[in-house]
């Protein structure tokens, strides 16, 4: 069993655990960089369940939003409030970047590395890392240097690396942006698998078809604001915001 | 030119027969330079890694100073160590002047800034790539240092070899603090300088050939390391 359900014991050195770090409440989030306002006051709540897809045109602020939620960026205003103390919330989330960084090590060592940081005993690491690789179909490449893998394999490795931590929340930033259809299918299957095992996936995408396939709910971001946040079915059938409707019709939003 | 030809022939014979004096000099040279690289690496690599990941006031000044020290003239380094170790100097009581230990110290002082500056360059580039991912894993700059040193091991090995090449070819500093004492502190470079001055070309030529072979071997090793690194990280 690779992904333990939320609430089960995860990392090694940990204090008393809350039942869940969710829901995540975001209020009044603002972020600017280089004199440019990227997020202009963002409010929403993310609950446990099916994946939340953050969609919107390029430059809407999707990647920045994910980095703020994950704690890699500090907002100029507003709050990112987890249902657990920040330290614990931090330990129980993971993120996969659009261009994941492959350490200059074998695929297996790449998966084992964050497990070591999480304080997992050496004996457990290898077994858990191998299981994670097997789940993404990379068991046969375990000893291969990670940077020699193809783009699709690297993305799957990055997913295995994050999933091996058994996070309660997993942020994925455009995980299929640079992949061909076959690799995209493989990555989506893994994402579904991870979500089914009880991890809350929060994922950005500019691909509406992908959002339809994966989303439980949709957070539509446009020009640094959440224009609409709705269950996926409702969002795709009858978007309420005119910008969302235009985006769904395939119009280019300025 | 007949002299030169004869000298060259004798030089080859010295190398071929494994002349004990020649071997002793070569052995001491290698030992001193290797010890100096080891000593300098203990200071230089962590310092380079620290400068690559840490942000603190005065960091730029340290980097500029380090880059300047890379060009430190060996005779100046030798003079400084000489003053430090001479009988009336602060470390004079140790009695290290004109011993191989003093030569190790002088060469270490010369190449530590080189190792630090070069490793900083290598590791800063890697840190730029790794930083966000490692922070996501929950690793700050301090935890990143061993990771960078490990993942940068091929590049760092070439940095160490560059330091070794510089140390083994250096003459000014070891001449001043070692004293070029026969059978005790005479190394390849100081022997070449002395024998050439004396007009005893065979030994100078033989040592020169050995020194060239070592430089060649060091560079071949650098190339092999680069290839190995490229095979791992496309």
ipTM: 0.88
Whose tokens are 């922070």? That residue is B135
Contact flag A104-B135 (C-beta cutoff 8 Å) = no
pLDDT, average across residues A139-143: 96
Q: What percent of chain A has pLDDT over 90?
A: 85
Query: Could you report the per-residue pLDDT of A192-245, keeping only the tens digit for each?
Result: 999 999 999 999 998 899 999 999 999 999 999 999 999 999 999 999 999 999
Decide the pairing of beta strands A24-33 and A77-81: antiparallel
Which stretches of B54-99 are DSSP H helices?
Answer: 59-69, 74-85
Q: Which of A104, A118, A148 sits opposite B151 (nearest CB)?
A: A104
> pTM of the full predicted structure?
0.84
Contact status of B130 with chain A (Cβ, < 8 Å): yes
User: Can you tell me the distance from the alpha carbon of A204 to that of B123, in angstroms, rounded to the nearest whole number?
Assistant: 31
The residue of chain B nearest to residue A66, with distances taken between CA atoms, is B136
Say if strands A52-55 and A77-81 run parallel, antiparallel, or are unpaired: unpaired
B136 vs A70: CB contact, 8 Å cut-off? yes
Q: Which of A95, A113, A145 lies nearest to residue B233, judging by beta carbons?
A: A145
Contact in structure between A33 and A21 (CB atoms under 8 Å): no
Chain A residue set in contact with B, beta carbons under 8 Å: 70, 72, 90-91, 94-95, 97, 100-101, 103-105, 113-114, 117-118, 145, 147-148
Q: Which residues of A touch B133 (CB under 8 A)?
A: 97, 100-101
Single out the residue of B93, B66, B90, B70 nearest to residue B80, CA to CA.
B90
For residue B214, the model assigns a pLDDT of 86
B106/A13: higher pLDDT: B106
d(CA B19, CA B31): 18
Which of A70, A104, A147 is most worth mutating to test chain B (most B CB atoms within 10 A of its CB)?
Answer: A104
DSSP H helices in chain A: 62-70, 86-91, 107-117, 122-135, 151-163, 181-196, 208-214, 232-237, 242-248
Burial of B17-42, coded b for 16+ CB within 10 Å and e otherwise, reads: eebeebeebbebbbebbebbbebbbe
Q: Which of A5-9, A136-140, B227-231 has the lowest mean pLDDT?
A: A5-9
Assess contact for A145 and B232: CB atoms under 8 A: yes
Give the phi and the psi of residue B167 in degrees, each rounded to 5: -65, -45
Answer whether A72 sits within 8 Å of B136, measured CB to CB: yes
Choose the closest CB to B138 out of A90, A103, A145.
A90
Q: Residue A18 — pLDDT band, cuts 50, 70, 90?
A: low
Domains of chain B: 2-233 (1.10.3720.10)
- Residue B88 contacts A, CB cutoff 8 Å: no
CB contact under 8 Å between A117 and B135, yes or no, is: no
**Chain A interface includes B142 (CB < 8 A):** no
B133 and A100 within 8 Å at the Cβ level: the answer is yes
Within a 10 A sphere around the Cβ of B50, how many other Cβ atoms?
18
For residue A236, the model assigns a pLDDT of 95
The set of residues, in sequence order, having a beta carbon less than 8 Å from that of B155 and lying 6+ positions away, is B122, B229
Over residues B174-200, the pLDDT tens digits come to: 999 999 999 999 999 999 999 999 988
Within a 10 A sphere around the Cβ of A121, how many other Cβ atoms?
A: 9
Residue B136 has its nearest CB partner, among A95, A103, A104, at: A95
């Amino acid at each position: 069993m690779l992904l333990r359900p939320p609430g089960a014991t995860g990392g090694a050195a940990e204090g008393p655990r809350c039942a869940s770090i969710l829901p995540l409440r975001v209020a009044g989030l603002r972020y600017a960089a280089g004199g440019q306002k990227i997020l202009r006051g963002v409010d929403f709540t993310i609950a446990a369940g099916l994946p939340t897809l953050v969609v919107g045109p390029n430059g809407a602020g999707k990647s920045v939003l994910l980095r703020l939620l994950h704690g890699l960026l500090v907002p100029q205003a507003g709050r990112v409030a987890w249902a657990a103390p920040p330290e614990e919330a931090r330990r129980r989330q993971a993120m996969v970047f659009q261009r994941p960084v492959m350490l200059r090590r074998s695929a297996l060592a790449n998966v084992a590395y964050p497990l070591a940081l999480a304080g997992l005993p050496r004996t457990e690491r290898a077994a858990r890392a191998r299981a994670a690789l097997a789940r993404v179909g990379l068991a046969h490449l375990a000893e291969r240097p990670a940077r020699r893998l193809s783009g699709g394999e690297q993305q799957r490795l990055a997913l295995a690396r994050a999933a091996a931590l058994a996070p309660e929340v997993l942020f994925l930033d455009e995980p299929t942006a640079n992949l061909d259809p076959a690799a995209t299918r493989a990555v989506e299957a893994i994402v579904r698998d991870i979500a089914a095992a009880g991890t809350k996936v929060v994922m950005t995408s500019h691909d509406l078809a992908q959002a339809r396939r994966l989303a439980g709910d949709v957070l539509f971001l446009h020009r640094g604001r959440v224009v609409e946040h709705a269950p996926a079915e409702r969002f795709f059938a009858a978007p309420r915001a005119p910008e969302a409707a235009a985006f769904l019709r395939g119009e280019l939003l300025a | 030119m007949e002299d030169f030809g004869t000298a060259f022939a004798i030089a080859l014979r010295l190398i071929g027969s494994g002349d004990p004096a020649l071997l002793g000099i070569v052995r001491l040279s290698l030992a001193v330079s290797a010890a100096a690289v080891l000593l300098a690496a203990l200071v230089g690599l962590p310092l380079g890694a620290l400068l690559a990941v840490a942000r603190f006031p005065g960091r730029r000044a340290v980097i500029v100073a380090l880059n300047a020290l890379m060009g430190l003239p060996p005779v100046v380094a030798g003079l400084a160590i000489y003053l430090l170790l001479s009988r009336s100097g602060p470390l004079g009581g140790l009695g290290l002047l004109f011993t191989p230990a003093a030569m190790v110290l002088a060469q270490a002082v010369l190449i530590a800034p080189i190792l630090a500056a070069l490793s900083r360059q290598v590791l800063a580039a890697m840190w730029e790539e790794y930083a966000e991912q490692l922070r996501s894993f929950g690793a700050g700059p301090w935890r990143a240092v061993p990771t960078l040193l490990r993942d940068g091991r091929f590049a760092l090995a070439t940095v160490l070899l560059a330091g070794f090449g510089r140390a083994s070819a250096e003459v000014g500093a070891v001449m001043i603090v070692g004293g070029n004492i026969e059978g005790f502190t005479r190394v390849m470079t100081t022997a070449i300088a002395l024998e050439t001055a004396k007009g005893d070309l065979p030994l100078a030529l033989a040592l020169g050939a050995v020194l060239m072979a070592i430089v060649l071997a060091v560079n071949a090793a650098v190339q092999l390391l680069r290839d190995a690194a490229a095979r791992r990280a496309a």
